Amino acid sequence: MYSWILAARPKTLPAAIVPVWAGCVLSWKLQGSWSPWLACCTLMSAVCIQIATNFFNDGIDAAKGADTAKRQGPTRVTATGLISRRAVFAAATIFLVIALALGVVLYEAAGWPIIAIGLPSLYLAYGYTGGPFPLAYRGMGELFVVAFFGIIAVGGTVLIQTGEWREEAMLLGFQIGLLSAVLISINNLRDRAEDATTGKNTMAVRLGDRGARFLIWLEIKVAAFCGLLWLKHQLPWLGLATIPLWTLGLYLSFCVFTSPADKSMNRLLALAGLMLVTFALFFHAAAVIGK
């Protein structure tokens, strides 16, 4: 059981939970109500897709030789032989089937846009590291996260709750997507040397050590300054959600520039996850206060 929990990578799940959480809060802020049932279905679907993505990533990276003995990050179950690649792929498929079943409920609530969002999301659970154009191996991991774990995840959640695509949801999704991308960027910075030898051309490999560190700083800073745009939407209180980015985010940026690209980056990953969750907490509090 521990091996399966390890393969599911529970520390990555905030990237699936936060967009739905914040999207529901924004929906309540915009229309004064929200549906717990639809929120639950959306959340479970997002978590299932995230876990499936992690399972596929574990199996595919092992098959491609991307996870070697030099790995600085957490243990990968397929590469170490704890679970077979066939079993990992089967588990990933089961989670995608569950996500698809939940998607039927969401389709009944929001119609065809759920198909437009859901089908690419289901495919990219595999296509992130597999298929003819694996995004993670082409340096597009951060762009994928900003789009699917940020803008689309938040925008889709608000669509399900309100029946509308909202500009405010795009702004919030962009902020959350950037903060989720920080997790990927730190992970890729830590593994840059190994990835460069295995053909995994992540953004960190393409930019080099210094460029990869600057990218993390930029992601945090852009997300923070986007908080000013809530003034445009006459929701100034929601800008207070960026407080963790000006505090914890500054400390994280300092550590990124001063820490070696080795196992010490695992601590920074935890800080980045904490920053993402804290952002959601502050957003929730600001929405209540601003009410």
pTM of the prediction?
0.93
Which residue stretches of the chain are H helix? 2-8, 14-31, 36-63, 85-110, 113-127, 141-146, 152-162, 167-190, 192-198, 203-225, 243-258, 265-290
pLDDT value, residue 72: 60
pLDDT value, residue 258: 94
pLDDT value, residue 66: 59
Give the residues of the chain that fall short of pLDDT 70.
65-74, 291
pLDDT value, residue 68: 53
pLDDT value, residue 83: 87
pLDDT value, residue 71: 57
pLDDT value, residue 18: 97
pLDDT value, residue 85: 87
pLDDT value, residue 10: 87
Spatial distance between the Cα atoms of 191 and 203, rounded to a whole number of angstroms? 11
**Domains in the chain and their CATH numbers?**
2-290 (1.10.600)
Contact criterion met (CB below 8 Å) for 149 and 177 = yes
pLDDT value, residue 3: 81
